[in-house]
Amino acid sequence: MDAIPSSAGLCHTCRHARLIVSAKGSRFVQCQASFADQRLSKYPTLPRLTCHAYQPEDGDQNEDQQ
């Protein structure tokens, strides 16, 4: 499985981020938190440096990220 590159910023380690690969091979980072929070973009501009919904994959929530 392909991993989200570190150049994606916070999305690289966020539990909400999913890598989407199109049939033509284009790659996109999808924010699954955007389905519950309309303030978030489904396909955020990268690199993402701040995000109020950021949660590291290990489960520790960083509430200070805005």
pLDDT in tens, 14-49: 999 999 999 999 999 999 999 999 999 999 999 999
Q: Concatenated DSSP letters for 42-59?
A: SS--SSB---TT--BTTS
Tokens of residue 20, six digits: 């989407």
Peptide bond into 44 cis (omega under 30): no
Largest Cα–Cα distance of the chain, in whole Å? 38
pLDDT higher than threshold 70 for residue 64: no
Q: State which H helix or E strand residue 29 sits in.
A: strand 27-31
Q: What is the pTM for the complete model shown?
A: 0.80
pLDDT higher than threshold 80 for residue 60: no
User: Taking all residues of the chain, what is their mean pLDDT, rounded to a whole number?
Assistant: 90
Tell me 65's DSSP state.
Answer: -
